[in-house]
Amino acid sequence: MCGLAGFLESNLNDNNSAKVLHSMGESIYRRGPDGTGIWFENIENKINVGFVHTRLAIIDLSDAGQQPMHSHCGRYVIAFNGEIYNHLELRYLLESNNHISWRGHSDTETLLACFGIWGIDKTLQACVGMFAIALWDKKEHRLTLARDRVGEKPLYWGWQDDALLFGSELKALKTHPAFSAEINRDALCLLLRHNYIPAPHTIYRGIQKLQPGHYLSVELSNDERKETLHQYWSYEKVVQEGLVNPFMGSPIQAVEHLESLIAQSINGQLISDVPLGAFLSGGIDSSLIVSIMQSLSSSPVKTFSIGFDDKKYDEAIFAVEVARHLGTDHTEMYVNDKDIQDVIPLLPEVYCEPFADSSQLPTFLVSKMAQQHVTVALSGDAGDELFGGYTPYSFTPKYWNYARNIPLQIRKFASRYIDKLPVNPKFKKLIECMAVQNPQLFYRNIISHWLNPEELVKNSSEPSTAFSSSTTFPVNGGYVDWMMSVDAQVYMTDDILVKVDRAAMYNSLETRVPLLDHRIIEFAWQLPVSLKINNGVGKWPLREILYKRVPKSMIERPKKGFSIPLSSWLRGPLRDWAEELIAYKRLADEGYFNVAAVRSCWNLHIQGQADYSRKLWSILMFQSWLENQK
C-alpha cells in the first residue's frame, strides 16, 4: 500500500519537475512513510512526464521493491498502489513460456513483466487484488492509469490547462502549479444528498475519480491529445450474468462453495512481510473473517476493536467475547466523547475532499490504534451489499407497493404539506420520499439526507448517478437486486471504501477486504435474493458459515455499528465550532449555500424541535474542508 501521483504535460514551462514531484509526494507521505521515489523525463522537448511514489513497505522490504520501477526491457515505468494477491501465480504463468531474471519478489515487478508480455487488458483481468496504477510506455509515449475492479484504491485525474494531473488523493494534484481549485457546485449537491461524492465526480471542477474496473490511455503528440477510457470489468455485467445463470445447487452446497471462496480469498490476503491483523467488531462480517483467519493461522491472530464509554453505542464487549472464543490476540481501546471530538479538526486533512459519514470518526481511531501493532489489517466490509444486510432491502419494496397505489399528484400534495403537521420525523420523511414516479427514485430518496440539494446549493445542477438514472431492474432480477447492485457500485465504493482507506492510510495502515475478491462477487450474484435474505434476515449464507465457528447466541443481537451521538454533540460540545462554520455572514460571503435554509435547519436543531444532525454534518464537513483549503 502506498501513494502515487504525477503529471503528463505538453506545455513546457519553467516548472522544476523534481521540485513539483517532491511537493506532490510530500502531500501524501502518510500513505507511504517508508520512502519516496521520483522519476521524470523530457521527451523531444515536447512532453514532460513524471511519477512520484510514497512507499509503505508490505511485500519485499528490500530496495528491489522501490518505485517508480522500470521494467527489465526498459520500455515501461510504473508507480503502483495496492496489492496483487496472486502475483506469485502470475509469475509461474509467465515463467512457463518466458525466461525472466527476477530482481526481487515484489508484486510491482510481477506487474511490469505481465504488462510487457501480456499487455494491459489481459494483465488487469488476470490480477486478483486492489490497485491504482500509473504506467508509462516509453516506446509509444503513452500513459495508462488503471483502477481495481471495485475501487478499493483511489485514483484521481484531470486536465488543468495543458497538464494531465493524477494521484491517489486530491491534495497531491493541488500542489501542481497548473491546478485550479474551482469548486464543483454540482458535486456539492451530491455531497448533501449522499454524505459523499460518487464517482466520477469530485469537489473540484475538471477533476474526476477514475471509475472502478476501468483504465485510461493518454497520448500527447503535435499539440494534440488522445485519451481513451476502457472498461475491463463491469459490475453491472456481473450482476446480469449471475441472475441469468443462477447457481443450481442446494442451499447447503451454496454455503459450502461460498465458504471455500472466502477461505481462498483470506488465505491469499494473508501474504505479507510485515505484521498483519484484523478489525473485529463482534458482528457477522468481521467475526466471519477473523474466524477463518484464525483457522488458517498457527498463532493467535491480532484483532482490534474500539469501545465507547457510552454503553448505548458500545459493541466492544461483543468483540471481546468473539475474540476469546476464537483465541485471538485481542486489543481493545475505550474512548470517550472528547477522544472522538478531538479527531474532528483532523478530518479535512484525512479526507482530501468533503466526506460526511460520521462513522469516519471511530474508524479513524480504530485504525490509529491498530497501526501501533500491525501494518496490515483485514476488514469485514462488503457483506451487506453482497448478501442483503441493510434494513432498507426489507422495508423499501413494501412501502413502495403501498405508495404506488396512491395517485402521484396526491403523493406530491402530501409531501408539500406534511412539514406543517406535528408528525413523527420518520413518517414525515417517508411521505416526502413517496413524491416520485418510480421505485428507483423512491429508494434514492429513502437513502438521501437532503431530498432537494439544488435548492440549497446556489447555481447548481445535481448530476445523475446510478440511483437516479436507472428506470428498469436487471433481467431476471427485482427491486432488491437493483438496490443491492447500485449500493455496491456507489455507496460501497465511494463511502465505505473511501472511509476506511483514508482513515487507515492517514495512519499508514493498509486495509484489505477479503469479501471483495471478484470471484466472491461473481458467485454472490448467482445466488437468489431468497437465499441471501431469509425471512427478513439478511446475510443468511454468511451467518451459516459463521455459526460453524462461533455460537449463534454470541452473534444474534441488534447491530449498532459505528454510531456516535452527533445530535446531542451539535447542541452541546460542538455547538460553538458549528456556529462559527455556518455563521450567517460567513455563509453569505462564501456564496455556496442558501443561507436562510441552512440557518433555519440549524436553529430548529439546536432548539430541539428536530434532529437535523445528519443534514447539518454534510454542510459542516464541507465548511470545515473549505476552511482548510484557505
Catalytic residues: 2
Specify the 3-state DSSP secondary structure of 246: coil
Report whether 379 belongs to an annotated binding site: yes
Rounded CA separation 477/577 (Å): 47
Rounded CA separation 383/389 (Å): 7
User: Is residue 444 within 8 Å of residue 433, measured between CB atoms?
Assistant: no
Radius of gyration (C-alpha) of the chain in whole angstroms: 24
Q: Bridge partners of 79? A: 134
Report whether 461 belongs to an annotated binding site: no
Q: 226: buried, middle or exposed (CB in 10 Å: 19+, 13-18, 0-12)?
A: exposed
Task: Show the cell assigned to 539.
Answer: 446475510
Report whether 23 belongs to an annotated binding site: no
Q: Cell numbers 506487474 label which residue?
A: 111
Nearest to 520 by CA among 111, 222, 117, 247: 247
Q: 224: buried, middle or exposed (CB in 10 Å: 19+, 13-18, 0-12)?
A: exposed
Rounded CA separation 316/618 (Å): 28
Task: Show the cell assigned to 501.
Answer: 482507506
Question: CA of 102: how far to CAs of 111, 113, 328, in Å?
Answer: 12, 9, 37
Task: Show the cell assigned to 212.
Answer: 472502478
Rounded CA separation 562/123 (Å): 38
Rounded CA separation 592/223 (Å): 37
Q: Render 259-291 in DSSP notation, one character per residue.
A: HHHHHHHHHHHT--SS-EEEE--SSHHHHHHHH
SS (HEC) of 338-393: HHHHCCHHHHHHHCCCCCCCCCHHHHHHHHHHHHCCCCEEECCCCHHHHHCCCCHH
Amino acid (1-letter code) at residue 427: F
Q: 383: buried, middle or exposed (CB in 10 Å: 19+, 13-18, 0-12)?
A: buried
Report whether 306 belongs to an annotated binding site: yes
User: Is residue 29 within 8 Å of residue 54, measured between CB atoms?
Assistant: yes
User: Is residue 381 within 8 Å of residue 497, measured between CB atoms?
Assistant: yes
Amino acid (1-letter code) at residue 443: Y
The kind and range of the H/E element at 452 are: none
Rounded CA separation 141/76 (Å): 10
Annotated binding site for L-glutamine: 107
Binding-site residue positions:
107, 306, 379-380
Binding annotation for ATP:
306, 379-380
